[in-house]
Every structure is written in C-alpha cells, then in structure tokens.
Amino acid sequence: MKVDLHIHSTYSDGQWTPFKLVEEASFRGVSIMAITDHDEMAGSKEIRESAAKKGITIISGIELNTDGEEGELHILGYGFDVENKRLCEYIHWRQQERVFWSKKIVAKLQQLGYLIDWDACWKRANEKVIVRTHIADELVDQGYFSDREHAFQALLMKGAPAFVDREGLSATEAIELIHHAGGKAFVAHPGEYSWEWSLKKLVDRGLDGIEVYYSRHKQMTTLYWNHMADTFNLLKSVGSDFHGPTSRSPYPIGSVHFNENEVLAWLKELSIEEGVY
C-alpha cells in the first residue's frame, strides 16, 4: 500500500492545486494521503469528495511553522477537526501576519539594493500563504541569483541580512493546538534540522510521533529516527514533502518506502477515534 502524509499544494508553496495532487496520487496508486500546507488546511477540505471517488482516503493535515526554545521546528498535525474554532482563528491570524512579515522582508531587500516588488511575490503565493520561497523565486526571476537555494542562504535564512523574525507558535504551543483540535502532532523531517533540539522535551509536552520515513532521509538517518521513535514509544509517519516536479522538493507522491505495519496501525486507530476515513 502507498501512503503519503506530507504533500504541499498551491494553498502554500506547492506548485499544484489540491485536485491535481489527487490526480497524481491516484495515478501513482496512493491509497491514503494528507495535504499538509504551511499554516493552512483548505486543501484538506477541498478534495475529500473528489479523492473518495478515486478510492483515496484523505487525512486532515497541516504543517505548522514554529519558533521558540527548540528553534524553527515544523510540526505536522493529522486527523484534527478542520472546523475547530481555535485552529481556524489561528490560521486566519497567521495568514495576515505572514503578509506583514513578508512586506518587511521585501523592504529590507529593497534597502539592500534588491529591487523586487512585494506584489509580484504575493502573486507567486496565489495571494494565499506567502513563504520565503516565493520571495527567493522572485529574486531569481529578477536575475539576482541563479537558484532559490542560493538566494535563501545568502539573504533569507535566520541570521542573513534580510531575515525577519515572525510571530507565531512555539513547537510546544503547536502540539497543544493540534491536540485541542482533536489531532495528533508529529515532528516533520527530523533529520533536516541543522541545530540541536530536544526530542525528549517535546515528548514530555505531548508529541505523538516523528516523520521517520522521509524523502530526504538517508538510510542511516531513517534508522536513527526509527530507533528514537521506538525509544520514546512514538508513532511513525511517512511523507514525500512533494512541492511540485520542478520545486526544491520534487520527490514523487507515494515514493517513500515505509513499514506498513507501523504506519497503518495508528492510521487505523485514528479512523476509529476521529472518523477521518
């Protein structure tokens, strides 16, 4: 069985619409999927009916960008109530905050001599959820850099000249919010962070699982996080983190191998508890 619980659409920084993602998932034989846009869950709502017609189960999903004592960790949420009032209010606030935050970044870039227009970045984001990738792509398009990774590293990452802190949840607060909405919280792509952070602290604060099976995890990385999940009795998830065929994360939907018994066990339990199947 093919399962993919980490996919991005045009509601955040993905290249394809939710409906196109369902078409691709069906073509690749995926049975269970979750669209996990950054600080947005509209994709989960939009495709449930069309996916069901193709025999694909949709799990409600989201990727909350956080910052706090553990750094800029990404927390994945699954199986939550998409109509939860508190979660919906946070997402609405976060989208507005991203607009103000991104305008500050563009203003800094303009002061540094990079003459890009915020409206152009906003259009790249389909006027929905703007992220730094959209700004990096505009810098590339205007000829300042050869690729988005170079632009990001030179100007937009934490500590770089155009970096701007943003308000939002800590990892602990994100876990609590997902739980409040009735879902389960996972650390996304744990092998991708370049700084030290404490898994134990997150476990103590209610973390449910780890994205052990991930597209960019090498074999040794997967083995390590598999061991850590076992050590702390955590659930394990699987995700490609597909953003589109020409994106920074082009790994095909459903392409990540995983232990079916481990992942399907909690998905089955989730279906009973939350009625998401």
In angstroms, rounded to a whole number, what is the distance separating the alpha carbons of residues 225 and 44?
27
DSSP-assigned beta bridge partners for residue 33: 4, 58
Q: At what angle do helices 171-180 and 85-111 cross, to 10 degrees?
A: 150
Which helix (H) or strand (E) segment is 96 a member of?
A: helix 85-111
Q: pTM (2 decimals)?
A: 0.90
Q: Whole-angstrom Cα distance, residue 180 to residue 150?
A: 39
CB 5 within 8 A of CB 242: no
Contact 216, 241 (CB under 8 A): yes
DSSP structural state of residue 105: H
Question: What averages of pLDDT result for each successive group of 10 residues across the chain (277 residues)?
Answer: 97 95 98 96 91 95 94 96 96 93 97 97 90 94 94 94 92 98 98 95 98 98 98 98 94 98 92 49
Q: Which domains does the chain have, with CATH numbers?
A: 2-83+170-274 (3.20.20.140), 90-156 (1.10.150)
Q: Name the DSSP letter for residue 153.
A: I
